[in-house]
Amino acid sequence: MQKIAMTTPLVEMDGDEMTRVLWQLIKDKLIFPYVGLKSEYYDLGLLNRNKTGDMVTVNSANAAKKYGVAVKCATITPDRRRMEEYPELTEMWKSPNATIRSILDGTVFRTPVTIDCIKPVVRTWEMPITIARHAYGDIYKAVELRSDEPGECIMTFRGESGAEQTVSVQKADGPAVWMSQHNMDSSIRSFARSCFQYAVDLRQDLWFSSKDTISKIYDGRFREIFEEEYSDYRARFEELGIGYFYTLIDDAVARVIRSKGGYIWACKNYDGDVMSDMISSAFGSLAMMTSVLVSPDGCYEFEAAHGTVTRHYYRYLKGEKTSTNPIATIFAWTGALKKRGELDGLSGLSDFAALLEKVCLDTLRNGVMTADLAALTEPGFEVDVVDSWGFISAVADKLDRELN
């Protein structure tokens, strides 16, 4: 078949370890044969981020703002162990996801990919639950220090007018660790608007949770802004028959476990990080979750919500074939291609991406799957366990038959 032409590039952010290997395999087997891919490529592999002083991450995020659509591979955020593993590193670079999200702002929406042969761990869940994760600030933009003697920590805000506000954080009688985190009204407001609009688009209820009984000012401001923004959406919600409510994070967890699913759960940055992992695992696998960052000005960054699968990567380096699940990475590509086609009026590109998703799910329904999913299938379901190459080849064969 003639390759599908693209008119506008999408931004391609390559990554690390096993997901980087799968990234290239997916392009070679599932995209290049059918799409004349136009992309602006950025290598966000850890060593290249180190080589560029992490400017490659900043440049990729600015490119995403320029072109409107990006697709990102999983990347390493180095800790002390990684510093030993990669002695070339000049510093413990920050999370590239946090850098990108800080530049783009907006909200990360994560939804499990479900198939009938794998039932959720929570027996009451009948429909996927979408996590809406605030993409700026809190612990991800926090500053920290460690003190080694008794003393007092003081937090001061100095306004441009010269006025100051000062609070005593705590008096310490010995060594201590300290953290200061922040958020912006403008970012919280963008988060709220994105959540309400997404609920309208999906025609689903929206929940928002935080802990304003303890964090009366910080979390209290989140709750206030959500209530203010809801006033602009209330009539539309009522017209669609959907609802919005606020509850404490601990109450939300209890409600989620008892629910049937089928709604959007908005969380602050760290809460969303944790709860999206919990939701995806309970539905089946971290590798079975879509993730898209939607910015207030209409930029989209699609990614896999899981890590770089380090354990499998080191087996791969030994020449072993690994049964790494590529679904989330494939769906990052299909999400980006669908959105690029939608924005550029290229229905053929969007239709191809939708077909690729269907072929992936049909392959799983036919019992061809990686080991992580095979262990979760219902009793009596016949499974053909394959490695990553075998799964992608099976998808490629079925896709070729569908298209030709």
Q: Is the pLDDT of residue 1 over 80?
A: no
Helix axes of 327-344 and 17-26: crossing angle, nearest 10 degrees: 50
- 98 pLDDT band (50/70/90 cuts)? confident
- Contact status, residue 219 vs residue 227, Cβ threshold 8 Å: no
**Each residue's pLDDT tens digit, 16-54:** 999 999 999 999 999 999 999 999 999 999 999 999 999
DSSP, collapsed to helix, strand or coil, labels residue 245 as strand
pLDDT for residue 298 is more than 90: no
Residue 100: the pLDDT is 93
Domain residue ranges of the chain, discontinuous segments joined by +: 1-115+284-404, 119-137+184-283, 143-180
Average pLDDT, the chain: 95
* 64 closest CA partner among 292, 268, 266: 292
The answer, yes or no, to whether residue 296 has pLDDT greater than 90, is no
Q: Whole-angstrom Cα distance, residue 189 to residue 105?
A: 11
Question: Out of 46-55, 291-300, 309-318, which region has the weakest mean confidence (pLDDT)?
Answer: 291-300
CATH topology for 1-115+284-404 is: Isopropylmalate Dehydrogenase (3.40.718)
In the block, residue with structure tokens 């309208």? 200
CATH topology of domain 119-137+184-283: Protein-Tyrosine Phosphatase; Chain A (3.90.190)
Instruction: Give the separation between CA 9 and CA 290, rounded to whole angstroms.
Output: 21
Q: Which amino acid is at 221?
A: R
Half-sphere exposure of 383 (CA within 13 A, CB side): 19
Residues 263-290 have pLDDT tens digits of 999 999 999 999 998 998 899 888 899 9
At 147, the amino acid letter reads: S
- pLDDT digit string, tens, across residues 323-336: 999 999 999 999 99
399/141: higher pLDDT: 399
Under a CB-based contact definition with an 8 Å cutoff, are residues 104 and 188 in contact? no
